[in-house]
Structure 1
Amino acid sequence: MDVTGTLDEALERLHRSGPERLGRLTNHAPMAVEALAARGRADAVHGWLDRYARMLEEFPSGVERVTAVNWHEALGDPRRAADWIGFFEREVAERPWREVLGEWWPRLLPGIYGGSTHPVIRVGHAVRTLLSGAVTEPRLAELAHGLGYWAARHRPVAALTPLPGADSAAAALGLVPRIAVQDGGFPARLDHVRALPVWAATAMEPAEAHRRLVELVRAATHRYATHGHGEETMLVHAATAPNAVLRTLPALPHALWPSSLRAAWTASAAVTAMYAPAEAVRCVPLDDLTPDEVVERALSHGDEHVIKLTDTALDVGDGPALAAAVRAMELTAPIG
């Protein structure tokens, strides 16, 4: 199967659509089709996209051109999504994409929570594609769409009160306090996250930041198997958001790795605080399922979050991670 051609065709189809639908629901298709292609199912990309296409909306209209002079005014303004995407399309056309990413990553990182963390996840999928295959126009455009969406939905949080932490990512996630307000959407709940355990706040070498980020992705993925019932969709992002950051690290200067870890930790911990259930359930690791079989189950199920969590679970690559992917299939309604 021509993975490059198939994925590029799918991305070209998707770039005629906006990054959101129905006000603020995210268009997950670019992330899901990239995951399917990366997992050896490029043959299923267009069929899956045909099913998902009914949920897409037209590309939004622009308001005013974003420039190197006025970008501060447009940051975090969702009405400017088209303006931001156009800005980054020009940037990646005129400069090496790694240079653009390296300049804008530290500017965007404080707003990792915007769009329920979907923009950084979309960027992570785009970067993986650029690092692993041909650098084509549709793939550069996908990076521009992801960065533009992130800039438009950029959402920082106020300084968080540090709480006592733990030595491991899994233990630190276990110490995250649930917020008292257990209703409302992501932005409303985020306003109630005011304190998180310390785990990745200290200065460290880039290699240690990378090691800890790998550990965080594993811990958050494993935790979904026992805690995903708190909110089957939103808790996916506690794993996929830090994994997006992990996938982006190889394209970034090493000096940015520690701050990237800290942002990934606070995003994962914040999602945990907002949606974790009061009690865990027992997880039974799946020793009789192969990764390919789990991918096939995810594709048959069809839900975009299931596909993305499965993709992250395969990065982790152990039994508890595959069990988390299967748990997502059990909790989530399949695409009709």
Structure 2
Amino acid sequence: MPVERTSGGRRGGRPTMNDVARAARVSLKTVSRVVNGEDNVSPVLVAQVRSAIELLNYSPDIGASNLRRGDRRTETIGLLLEDVGNPFSSALHRAVEDEARTRGVQVLTGSLDDDPRRERELARAFTMRRADGLIIVPVGPDQSYLATELRVDTPVVFVDRPGQGIPADTVLATNVIGATEATRHLIAHGHRRIACLGDHLRISTARHRHDGYLAALREAGVTPDPALTVSGLHTAALAESKVMELFHRPGPPTALFTSQNLVTIGAVRALRRLGLHRSVALVGFDDFPLADLVEPAITVVAQDPAMMGRTAAQALFRRIDGGTGPAAEHWIPTTLIRRGSGELTPAARLLDDRLADSL
């Protein structure tokens, strides 16, 4: 039953259910039945109570109500994302929200900004608000701090990156496979000097995509050149700057594998500034808005953040509903989407160089 904190007799305090009962000239029990949507109240009394609620601008204290529920659920879950402004995070968020809405559950969301301390603060804030469960894109090296929450039956699901220190359901993309496929694609189009640009290698997704890149080079008998690996690129602006540097050095690459969507965006900007966007091949990991509208359109290894979000939410709700058993891993496949930038050959770069030399 929804309950409320009383106004304590203070004039101007929050309206209470007692205030509604007095204004409607009905019993407190009748107000309670109307607020809870029970159907054993006469239409006349329902009209009186609703009129009083509107007049007083009354709203029930849902938080206090949830403490009275037998299952102690609050019908909320917490979603901790790397950056809600990133297209990948936004799509994941929407999928979780859509899944939660079908169950009448609200989603509390926050950005972690690659800050382990922020991760702990947000996780604590959401559990203090009695969230029924958490979905986390972990950024810290250790999530064992969540063990206390798990002991009090607050389930956790990790998505995009595996957690460390506690067993929990995890939803991951096939990062190594996708990166290997991207690099193989560039090799198949004649490239041997392929640069790999990505985020910090301490981040599991960046590390696994770099592993896939190296696996494809080894498979083709190509010796990796450390000068062609650039990591720690966390923004589009930094990626743009580093790509510009690459092409001002001797022996520049003929192709780029960019292992994160912001890195891809920065690389596209740099290639266009350099006039190399039609001659240097590019395959990016993760799709992004307008990637198919630039010229040439960007070939990508696309994740499925919507499927990842749905799978994570479904796994969490199974645990909330009492599901038991060992922690499970759910793998969501990636897809290579050929659009043009990844199909350029080294010959295109050589032709551009010869034209430049003749001018």
Q: TM-score, normalised by structure 2?
A: 0.22
Larger Rg: 2
Structure with the greater relative contact order (CA < 8 A, sep ≥ 6): 1 or 2? 1
Name whichever structure is richer in helix by fraction.
1
Q: TM-score, normalised by structure 1?
A: 0.23
Name whichever structure is richer in strand by fraction.
2
